[in-house]
Structure 1
Amino acid sequence: MQYAIYLLMLFSLLAACVSREPEPATESFSHRDSTSEDSLTADATPIDTAPHEINWEAVDIRLAPGTLAYGLQCGRVEETRKRLGTLYGKQHITMDSIAVIFTELLVNDIIPYWYGTPWSFEGHTDTPGQGEIACGYFVSTTLLHVGVNLHRYKLAQQSPINEAKTLSLGDPIIILSDTSTKVIETIRDDFEDGIYFLGWESSHVGYLLKRKGEVFLIHSDYYSQSKVIIERAADSEVFSFYETFYIAPITTNKVLIEKWLTQDD
């Protein structure tokens, strides 16, 4: 609930300080990738999550997609990014607050449309609920659609460690090597709340979300469910298979958040 209250206050500030602009056309994404306008206007399929009972509302995680078609939702996210840029230029908002909003846009405005989209090794759909999506393309496509200026094919085709290095933008990546149980304990005890890129050895990638004392994975699961899911790291079969993890902070990477805000390459 504290995230919801915080975001309500910040979005009230957005509305008060900046006059409403026309909703941008979905072509605003086309300069970064070959994403088609038609693909951004499709509705998503109903979501599925991991089978274990979790009070998602208590951890401020939205599972169901919004009521807007996906393309309109992406347009609204882009509009929010532009407003934040205006506020930041006037020194009306801090970069830390912008990073919190970025995380919510990704976790609760973009990703919920993708839950339940089938996984395949060659999958590279850019439309949630239509076609299939591999783990690397899930990460690169959702980052692209939240507004990060990247080439989704080039990013998705990198190895997990190189993808972590690309997203870290020169900052050292975090490498944890231990049993999955001990790695989860380290993340829970030592990491700040926020979203991170996560690479599993040489085989798999996704997001790691630390929130309210819990550690979650958001990924296109190739093993037990063969679709995009969110699950507790402690419940994840895939997570338990590995002992080396490459992690790149996203929420706390101020260079990345500023590049998202300004659209610098």
Structure 2
Amino acid sequence: MKRILLTILATAGIVCAVCWHFRDRLSPVWRSVAEPLVTKPAPDAERYAGLKDEAERWRKDLSAKYAKARTKEEKDKVLAETRSFLETLLPEMMRCWLGTSWDFHGTAETPGKGKIACGYFVSTVLRDAGFRVDRYKLARQPSQNIIRSFLPAESLNLRVGVPYENFAGEVAGAEPGVRIIGLDSHVAFLVTKPDGFRFIHSSGSKPWCVVDEGREDAEVLRRSNYRVHGLLTGDRAVLLRWLRAEKIAVKESPTATASAKRR
């Protein structure tokens, strides 16, 4: 029995040594085995509906408060409160979609009810948060047009060919808030905080669903050569349009083929 036990232990040691030696080659295999065991987060349509109602209630209350404000200081205080609310609301709404399947032509309006493309994910969350925008028209635009529908050109931050770690370092130290970011062939949300950033998007790569990724996990963001983003919640005009429920004019592309840029 002792000899059998020693033989088993020796064999196990050899297997472990071989696996360690070939760990780089075997890691894709291990990931392919492990990935099916990972449970995707469940979309939360009920919470999403509640957040939509809450967004409208807060918008009306803050709008009334802004209308009553008489001094610049009072108005600025309401806008600061508006920004704080949106920077809490928007990421919460985004996360209600986690686990919702991606599809290039996906146009789902409710978390978990159908599939959704990246452009429709961005436009639907913005519409449901209270921005008066045509989600169909917005979703069909190239990513830079989606951002420009909300922000002036001078507010955009464009990086082409910048190594990912350099770019990630810039974003990690940027002003906190909710950003829209366009990539080579993708559009997403970038939520920046003092402790880093979250990249929230409907991913056309594994796991092919809406995901919330940190700096180390954001492979789609890492691989892109083109990155353009703008701070949505840091713009006074954007906050005022939300408060006043003003219609947002979509910057349309002159060519129909440009719609492929954002999916």
What TM-score does the superposition give when structure 2 sets the normalisation length? 0.72
- Whether the 8 Å CA contact 1:206–1:220 is kept in 2: the answer is yes
Q: 2:78 aligns with which of 76, 86, 94?
A: 94
CA gap 1:260/1:90 in 2 versus in 1, 3 angstroms:
same
1 CA distance for matches of 2:50 and 2:216? 35
Judge which range, 110-119 or 165-174, deviates more.
Answer: 165-174
Corresponding residue number in structure 2 for 1:211: 193
Corresponding residue number in structure 2 for 1:71: 49
Structure 1 or 2, whichever has the larger Rg, is 2
Corresponding residue number in structure 2 for 1:125: 108
Q: Give the root-mean-square deviation of aligned CA atoms.
A: 2.0
Corresponding residue number in structure 1 for 2:209: 227
2 CA distance for matches of 1:127 and 1:250? 23
1 CA distance for matches of 2:153 and 2:244? 18
CA-CA distance at 1:82 after TM superposition: 0.6
Judge which range, 90-99 or 241-250, deviates more.
Answer: 90-99
- Whether the 8 Å CA contact 2:87–2:177 is kept in 1: the answer is yes
1 CA distance for matches of 2:163 and 2:211? 22
2 CA distance for matches of 1:94 and 1:74? 20
CA-CA distance at 1:212 after TM superposition: 2.3
Secondary structure of the 2:126 match is: helix
1 CA distance for matches of 2:216 and 2:158? 19
Q: Which whole-Å deviations, capped at 9, do the CAs of 1:165-224 have from their partners, x for residues lacking one?
A: 2221454311022011110111122x10011000002x0000001112211100001102
CA-CA distance at 1:65 after TM superposition: 4.6
Q: Does 1:161 align with 2:144?
A: yes
Structure 1, unaligned runs of 5 or more: 1-46, 50-62
Q: Which whole-Å deviations, capped at 9, do the CAs of 1:221-244 have from their partners, x for residues lacking one?
A: 110210001110332111111122
- Aligned pairs (5 A) from 1:134-213: 134-169=117-152, 171-177=154-160, 178-189=162-173, 191-201=174-184, 203-213=185-195
- Whether the 8 Å CA contact 1:207–1:217 is kept in 2: the answer is yes
Corresponding residue number in structure 2 for 1:104: 88
- Aligned pairs (5 A) from 1:32-71: 48=40, 65=44, 68=46, 70-71=48-49
What TM-score does the superposition give when structure 1 sets the normalisation length? 0.71
Identity of aligned pairs, percent? 27
Structure 1 or 2: more helix by fraction: 2
